[in-house]
Each structure stands twice: as structure tokens, then as C-alpha cells.
Structure 1
Amino acid sequence: MPTRTTSRRGYLIALVLALLAALVVVALVFSGGSEPPTAQPPPARPVAVQPEPAEQDAALPKSTPVSIDIPKIGAHSSLVPLGLNADNTIEVPPVTTPLQAGWYTYAPTPGETGPAVVLGHVDGNHQKGIFFRLKELAAGDRVSIAREDGTTAVFEVTKVHQVPKKDFEGEGVYDDTPGPELRLITCGGVFDRTARNYVDNIVVYAKLVGH
């Protein structure tokens, strides 16, 4: 009899343990077994910070420009006054002195409100001109113009255009602007040997950013 009691108790204990194990399995199945993994956000990518464009500076009073300096292309020159030819086209410095730049006297002086205009040759007299490398300028490059009143107007290039001369009038180079700006002009493109001139103009647009 003791043997039967022990055997029956063992059987009951085993049965209880089996039931408990089954309940645990059921609980795990319905609960998912564990907490679901929390979705992790993708790693943040580094964001390239673009430099803010320089703000346009306040206009300066009228003052005759004395010289121009463009470090990016190694251009340095005094400035001679330029007016109009008989056919109402803008004068250019003598082609015999291609390293001489000039400023258009009927436009605002550099630093005044409006578009100041400086012209120079790309080449001439069998040598490179003051603006031979003008087309290499890009947005952000600086141009400095010393003025007779002792100040230096500093401009920042905003864009560079190569314009067919036949379309130059539509480019709006001399149009009024709300702030002080600068236009640098030279010849470019293909050289027309029949007309003995280049077919395009290189026009650099810049705005005043300091003085």
C-alpha cells in the first residue's frame, strides 16, 4: 500500500507540473514570449551646412573709382573714365593698352545704388588683356574697387554670363537695381576674323557686400 500511495502521489505531482508547464507555454504564446523590439530610428545623416550668402551692404555716396583688384584672376588696374562713342555705344580703353580697365561715367559710381560698369579687354595688341580670365570668376568671388574718397567698395560675384553680342541689349546689364551692384564686361566666345571681333560678351554680376 505505501508503494501505491507514493506512486499515486508521484503521478499527481507530475500531472500538476505538466499542467503548470502547459499554462506557461500558453501564456508565452499569447503574450508573444517577450516584449516586441522597439523600432529604432535610422541613424541621422550629417547635413551639409551651406554658407549663407553675404548680405548686401548699404549704398555709398558718389565717388570716382580709382582702381580695381580681382585676386581670383590676378587682375589689377587703375580705372580710366569711359563715355559714349558717336554711335552711342560705350567706349572701351585703347586696345593698344589691353591691361587698362575703365569705368563707365554715365552709370553710378561703384558703391552707389544701381549698376556700376567696368570694362576691359580680353586681349589686344598681341597680348592678354586685363579681363583675359574674367570668365573664370564664380559666385562668391570678390572684387574690390578703391574710390577717390578713400573707401574701398567690396563686391561679391553673384553670376557670370556669356552673352551673344546680338542679344546683349536683352540681357538687362544696365537695368536699375534696388541696391549697389557692379557689372564687369569683356569680350568672349569665338573670334570672328572677318569682323575682327569676338562674337560674345562675358558679363559678371556682383553686389556690394562691404567697404
Structure 2
Amino acid sequence: MIGRARNWSARRKARAASLVAAAVLLVALASVIALPGSTSQSDPAAGAASTVPVAAAATVGREHAAPARAADVRVEAPAIGLRTGVLVDLGLRGSGEPDVPRDPAIAGRYVNGPRPGEPGPAVVAARVSGDEGVFARLDELRPGEVVTAWTARGTRTEFVVDEAERYGHGDFPARRVHGDTEGPQLRLIACADAEDRRGGGVIVYARER
């Protein structure tokens, strides 16, 4: 009887040990199976890794898009012998008037506005000092005369002059110059020096031909 009891007890212990081992194995298998789906919620690093490449790609895209927007542009108006070099990038003063270079031989384009040929008013400006400057004869342009904008790729957009107007110092018509238009338009602006006796400057308004 004692031998049977011992045998039964040994078998029961062995069976219990087998059950424990099986349970441990099942838990381990369940953990392995759950791993592929668990990273999206429980692993912050995994979520961050999935978004970083997208943000980086967007940043790189913006960095490479800027030079394309600032493509080389030149402006010509044969009627008055006007031919600019490659336009430089311009900002605006508080009044909305272009912040032109000191050198009257250099013309520029408002860099945050449309390029010539794009919808909206493209603004091209230069300083005029007395009778000197690439835009010194801008006030001689007449309605119906043609202004051409060229890009480095050889594409061109032609504009027809609608009118020209003078503005006084401190009286720049920013809303009219920069306001929305139905199609591509061009603004040519001769910004006069403060000591220029003729007043603030000249603006030529033109629309796509």
C-alpha cells in the first residue's frame, strides 16, 4: 500500500510539472504572436519612426522648391529700349512698396508674389535716380505697347500695357498693385529717390496679351 501511494504521488507531481511547463510555453507563444501588432500602440518609438521620414521628405521638398520658384526672369520693353538683367529677389516695405536695390541698374521681382505669367500681379521694380536707371524711361510706356518676360528656360509671356500712373512719396497704392486679379498681370514700378523732384515713382499696369 505504501509503495502504491508513493507511486501515485510521484505521478501526480510529474503531471503537475508537465502542466506548468505547458502553461509557460503557451504564454511565451502568445507573446511572440502578439508582437507584430503591438508596436503601433505600445511602442512610442515605432510610431515616431513612421512619421519622421514623411516630415523629412516634406522639408526636403520645400528646400528644393524655392529655387524653382525663383527661376531666372528678365523683362524687356522694346518701345522704350528697356531690357533688364536677371531679376533679383525683392521684399516689401511697410507701405507695400518694393524694397529695391540702391543700384538703379538692378531690377528685381517681389519674391513672395506671382512670377510673370502666373495668375495674379507679378511685381517688378527698380530704383530711379534722376535720369539714371534701367526703369528711367518707364513713364514713356503707352497703352497698347508690349512688355515681355523671359525665363532662363526660354519661355516668354507677353503683356500689354493698360495704363501708367505716378504716386507720391508716402502714397503708394499697395492695394491696387498687389490686389488679386482675374489672370496674369504685370506691375512695373520705378521707385524714385527721396530727393527726386518728380515725386515718388511710376507704376505701369499691364495684362497678359
- Alignment partner of 1:68 is 2:72: no
Structure 2 spans left out of the alignment, 5+ residues: 1-68
Q: Letter of the 1:200 partner, please give it.
A: G
Q: Are the structure 2 counterparts of residues 149 and 169 from structure 1 closer, same or farther at C-alpha, using a change threshold of 3 Å?
A: same
Q: Letter of the 1:131 partner, please give it.
A: F
Q: Letter of the 1:162 partner, please give it.
A: R
Q: Letter of the 2:99 partner, please give it.
A: E
Q: In angstroms, what is the RMSD of aligned CA positions?
A: 2.8
Q: Letter of the 2:201 partner, please give it.
A: N
- Alignment partner of 1:114 is 2:120: yes
- Count of equivalent residues: 141
Query: Which structure: greater helix fraction?
Result: 2
- Alignment partner of 1:90 is 2:98: yes
Q: Are the structure 2 counterparts of residues 137 and 64 from structure 1 closer, same or farther at C-alpha, using a change threshold of 3 Å?
A: same
Counterpart of 1:121 in 2: which secondary structure? strand
Deviations 1:141-166 (A, max 9, x none): 11111113421111110111112233
Alpha-carbon distance in structure 1 between the residues aligned to 2:176 and 2:204: 12
Alpha-carbon distance in structure 2 between the residues aligned to 1:89 and 1:202: 11
Shift of 1:100: 1.3
Task: State the structure with bigger RCO (CA 8 A, min sep 6), 1 or 2.
Answer: 1
Structure 1 segment 1-211 matched on structure 2, within 5 A: 64-78=71-85, 79-84=87-92, 90-93=98-101, 95=102, 97-123=103-129, 128-169=132-173, 172-187=176-191, 193=195, 199-209=199-209
Structure-2-length-normalised TM-score: 0.59
Q: Letter of the 2:88 partner, please give it.
A: V
Contact 1:187 1:198 in 2 (8 A): no
Query: Which structure: greater strand fraction?
Result: 1
